[in-house]
Structure 1
Amino acid sequence: MTLALMVGARADDLTGTLKKVKETDTITLGYRETSVPFSYLDGNQKPIGFSIDLCGQVVEAVKKKLGMPDLKVAYNPVNSATRLPLVANGTVDLECGSTANQLARQKQVAFSVSTFVAQFKWLTRTDSGIAAPDDLKGKTVAVTSGTNTSQFLNKLNQEEGLKLTISQGKDHAESFLLVDTGRASAFMEDDILLAGLKANAKDPSRFKILDKSYSADPYALMFRRDDPAFKALVDDTLVGLMKSGAFAKLYAKWFESPIPPRELNLDFPMSEKLKELIKSPSDKANS
């Protein structure tokens, strides 16, 4: 009886996400379907990827914290448009995708320490005749709806007078398809996501990524605001992985080794900026 009362008291002391997870016996992870290699579906339609693995480590920490070794893990698909509201309204407890940490987004959700640093680039077809961004002036280009890339491209279009017609895909796969089918001359997105889409195309040689790059926001895991206990657990887990070397091993697994479903190697070495963030973890947004 005494033990039962002690366990009950600990449960009563919980708040936020940990309290919800304890009461429902389930933690819900949000995943993307086509954000290779962060979060995507394998040949069996199972969510896999770098961010999924990081979230898996957080789940293990939650199990230990709550004394729930048999905690259930549910998966909920999200896309660029739905990810923030689904986290904010409690449907998703932890989003494991390719989401950039931005000050504007922090008004709705919270972020972990940074897990990746990307750059915006253009992807086009090798037969497009496009060699530089200036070649895109006056053409139709693709971007994914609801992304920070979309915000950046609209600003770039206005500031540089590119006179672009911007077509928005509902997800990265649809944006890529716009280029593949010739309905758009190029697709702007984070360099690593473009590399993943290109590598997994039926014929990767049909596509190229332009050299020109633009600074982008750091990626992080996303969860509800005003939940310091859960944020501390998530951050402590990630920082622990960084300090132990496990984070670097996971990076090598997904960015520098053959990955499912086609066992292609993205051959995407860790950037100097990410190496710096591993040495000195930070949850700061660029702007």
Structure 2
Amino acid sequence: MMTSRKFTLAAITTCVLGAAAGAVHADVLDDIAKSKSIRVATDLAIPPSGMMDASMKPIGSDVETAQLLAKDWGLKLDFVQTTGATRIPNLQTGKADIAISTLSVTPERAKVIDFSKPYAVLESVIGGRKDVPVKSIDDLKGRTVCVTRGTTQDVELTKISRDKGFQVARYDDDATDVTAAVSGQCDLIATSLTIVNQITKKTPDRPFEKKVVLHVFDLAVGVKKGETQLLAKLNEWIDANLKNGKLNAIYKKYHGNDLPPQMR
């Protein structure tokens, strides 16, 4: 009898504590609704996805994607400026509600954050000047490749650099990374094809070109683990804006080409 009574009391206590823990846990979507604002982590130093115009106003494909989301949801938009290395920590620490910042979907990242459905794509490449004779990974031997710290390019090249005999030079943001490549501090740069094309536009006397394709990644909105309500609402929004063509129009405006047919 005592054993049964103890078990019953223990079960009740567990239920009460569980309910209390659930009450303490704040749902991010609820917080967004209460504050009538959304904090979006976006790198504003990675053109054309995120950048500042002459009047220091944020522009770019990720910026307009975030603006469209906030407008559709009737929210005030607060940008949380970030870098490649701080996008995920901003979500984990609650500094940002979501991340729209050329965030590639990878198995490693999916272990620590959740991803929405893809809203865009990124072609990850190694680029360099036309006079640099590189056509494959094996041609990197003895060379130095610039990367932005914490990016998928950094992770991938770090894994193979020793076996392939090349050096990886890491920089804290894309602007510094590009400057290093253009100034000749590195032979090559591992980044998105969009950035490689941007380098050529800015330095037509020393044009860069795609040398090696590393991957074609889906870009998705990053969300803190376990925020199922927010993730479901984001997926509904992405589906609707891929179907109506608005996300494709934003992508084409800044990147010069359409999203893949299967996305549209």
Q: Does 1:270 align with 2:264?
A: no
One-letter code of the match for 1:194? V
Q: AA paired with 1:155?
A: K
Tell me whether 1:130 sits opposite 2:133 in the alignment.
Answer: yes
Contact 2:39 2:79 in 1 (8 A): yes
Q: Deviations over 1:34-91 (max 9, x none)?
A: 222222222222221112222222212332xxxxxxx432211100111101111111
Q: CA deviation at 1:135?
A: 4.1
Q: Does 1:41 align with 2:52?
A: yes
Larger radius of gyration: 2
Q: Deviations over 1:133-165 (max 9, x none)?
A: 44431112211100111111123324xx32111
2:182 is equivalent to residue 156 of structure 1: no
Q: Does 1:120 align with 2:124?
A: yes
Please report how far the alpha carbon of residue 24 of structure 1 lies from its aligned counterpart in structure 2 after TM superposition: 3.1
* Aligned equivalents of 2:85, 2:190: Cα separation in 1: 17
| Cα RMSD for the two superposed structures | 2.2
Asked whether 1:104 is paired with 2:90, we answer no
Q: Is the 8 A contact 1:55 1:94 kept in 2?
A: no
User: More deviation in 231-240 or 50-59?
Assistant: 50-59
TM (norm. structure 2) is: 0.82
Length, aligned pairs only: 240
Q: Structure 1 residue 184: deviation in Å?
A: 0.7
How far off is 1:15 after superposition?
A: 5.8
Whole-angstrom CA distance in 1 between matches of 2:200 and 2:160: 24
Q: How does 1:163-182 map to 2 (within 5 A)?
A: 163-182=165-184
More displaced 10-residue stretch of structure 1: 74-83 or 16-25: 16-25
- Alignment partner for residue 193 of structure 2, among 191, 205, 227? 191
How far off is 1:241 after superposition? 0.9
* Structure 1: runs of 5 or more not aligned: 1-11, 64-70, 257-268, 279-287
Do the aligned partners of 2:91 and 2:98 also contact (CA within 8 Å) in 1?
A: yes
Partner of 2:227: 227
Task: Report the AA paired with residue 18 of structure 1.
Answer: L
The secondary structure found in structure 1 opposite 2:263 is: helix
* Amino acid in the other structure paired with 1:223: V
Identity across the alignment (%):
19
CA contact (8 A) 1:115 1:220 kept: yes
Residue 214 of structure 1 corresponds to 214
Q: 1:21 aligns with which of 9, 32, 35?
A: 32
For residue 104 of structure 1, report the CA deviation from its aligned partner: 1.6
Structure 2: runs of 5 or more not aligned: 1-22
